[in-house]
Amino acid sequence: MDHAQSPDRSGFTRRALLGTAGAGLLAGAGAGVAGAVALDRPGEASATAPGGTLGAARVPFHGEHQAGILEPQQARVQLAAFDLAEGVGRDGLRTLLQRWTGAAERLTAGESAEEADTQVALDAGPCSLTLTVGFGAALFDKAGLADRRPQALEPLPAFPADALDPARGDGDLFVQIGADDALVAVHALRVLQRQAAGTAALRWQSAGFARTPGATTRPMTGRNLMGQIDGTNNPAPGEDGFAAKVFCTAGPDQPAWLAGGSYLVFRRIRMLLDNWEALPLERQERVIGRRKSDGAPLGAPAGAGERTPVDLAAQGPDGALTIPADAHVRVAAPAANGGAAMLRRGFSYHDGLLPDGSPDAGLLFLAFQADPRKGFTPVQRKLSRGDGLSRFLRHEASGLYAVPPGVPAGGYLGQQLFD
Amino acid found at 87: G
**Which stretches does DSSP call E strand in 272-312?**
none
Q: Of 117, 170, 230, 387, which one is the catalytic site residue?
A: 230
Beta bridge partners, 400, equal 265
The β-bridge relationship of strands 343-344 and 130-135 is: unpaired
SS3 372: coil
Helices marked H in 196-262 — which ranges? Answer: 242-246
> DSSP letter at 334?
G
Residue 318 appears among annotated catalytic residues: no
What is the C-alpha to C-alpha distance for residues 23 and 349, in angstroms, rounded to an integer? Answer: 10
Cβ count within 10 A of residue 309: 8
**Which stretches does DSSP call E strand in 299-377?**
343-344, 347-353, 359-369
Cβ count within 10 A of residue 89: 14
Of 69, 79, 78, the residue nearest 20 (C-alpha) = 69
What is the C-alpha to C-alpha distance for residues 146 and 366, in angstroms, rounded to an integer? Answer: 25
Element housing 94 (H / E):
helix 89-107
Please say whether the beta carbons of 383 and 31 come within 8 A: yes
What is the C-alpha to C-alpha distance for residues 297 and 310, in angstroms, rounded to an integer? Answer: 6
Of 405, 403, 406, 412, the residue nearest 153 (C-alpha) = 403
Element housing 396 (H / E):
strand 393-403
Q: Which residues are the active-site residues?
A: 230
